[in-house]
Structure 1
Amino acid sequence: MNRLRLLAVGTVLMFALSAAAQQTTTSPDAHAAAVAPVEQHLKMLSEKLSLTADQQDKARPILQEMHNGSQKIADDQSLTPDQREAAMGPVFMKADKAVREFLTDDQKKKLDDLEAQMHSGSHDNPHGTTAAPQQN
């Protein structure tokens, strides 16, 4: 189950990163470019989980740390794709665990459902694009 959660969280992050990557190519401000995927991810989670303002404030630095860590791994050209995937696992799991600490039971269930939906390759994903099924 942890592997499924990892893949789902990774998929959610990758959608956020891919959407941000399209925006960052035209943005000269590196700080704004780094913040954009975090804010998009936070917005999506806020909408899907009905996060309170306090929960959003707690989630923002967790998502920023996850983004920074995954971006560093993605940029490391010395790693093979399999090594990158393996290295991102702990980054995603740490963020997932940290966010769950302040979610209500209902929000945790919604997050489980969202992660399962993302893992299944459902067409109804948070960014309105078609998700490709995960390969194991």
Structure 2
Amino acid sequence: MNPLRLFAAGTVLMFTLSMVAQQPASSTDAHPVALAPVDQHLKVLSEKLALTADQQDKARPILQEMHDGSQKLEDDQSLSADQRHAAMSELFMKSDKQMREFLTDDQKKKLDEMEAQMQGGPHDHPGGSLSSPQH
């Protein structure tokens, strides 16, 4: 995957995570319990890509590993910005590739479209980013 596509995939992923984290938990409880970031990310991807229950089960550990890895990289103050970016890119590419292994062609296309929107316009994304993991 080219560096721009990788950056776009990572941006889409991080944007999705931040959007989900900002959404209020919908609960009738007086003390609503917010979903964990991985659950929120999975929910968004499930809604946008129409993931099946089996696909959700496969995606959850991938998203968890990506979340844990990105948190670890963010917390590692010994890394320069360039080192952190490179490590994040590698992490996102790996996750994207793993996700694409069980997505349908239509789901991959939808993921590519999501990534293109995040980049600010329609771009050709044959098999790249969390919509097209080629890590």
Q: Residue by residue, what CA displacement relative to the aligned partner does 1:87-121 show, whole Å, maximum 9, x if unpaired?
A: 11110000000000000110011111111111228
Q: For residue 43 of structure 2, what is the amino acid of its counterpart?
A: K
Q: CA deviation at 1:15?
A: 2.4
Counterpart of 2:114 in structure 1 is 114
Counterpart of 2:69 in structure 1 is 69
Q: For residue 50 of structure 1, what is the amino acid of its counterpart?
A: A
Q: Is the 8 A contact 1:4 1:116 kept in 2?
A: no
Q: CA deviation at 1:4?
A: 3.0
**Matches of 1:50 and 1:21 in 2, distance apart?**
20
Task: Structure 1: state its 5+ residue gaps.
Answer: 24-31, 123-136
Aligned identity (percent) is 75
Counterpart of 1:80 in structure 2 is 80
Indicate the SS of the match to 1:51: coil
Q: Residue by residue, what CA displacement relative to the aligned partner does 1:33-61 show, whole Å, maximum 9, x if unpaired?
A: 9x711111111111111111110110000
**Matches of 1:22 and 1:113 in 2, distance apart?**
23
For the pair 1:91 / 2:91, whether they are aligned, the reply is: yes
Q: CA deviation at 1:14?
A: 2.0
**Matches of 1:54 and 1:86 in 2, distance apart?**
31
Indicate the SS of the match to 1:14: helix
Q: CA deviation at 1:16?
A: 4.3
**Matches of 1:107 and 1:40 in 2, distance apart?**
19
Q: Is the 8 A contact 2:20 2:41 kept in 1?
A: no
Q: If the length of structure 1 is used for normalisation, what is the TM-score?
A: 0.72
Across the two proteins, how many residue pairs are aligned to each other? 113
Q: If the length of structure 2 is used for normalisation, what is the TM-score?
A: 0.72
Q: CA deviation at 1:82?
A: 1.8
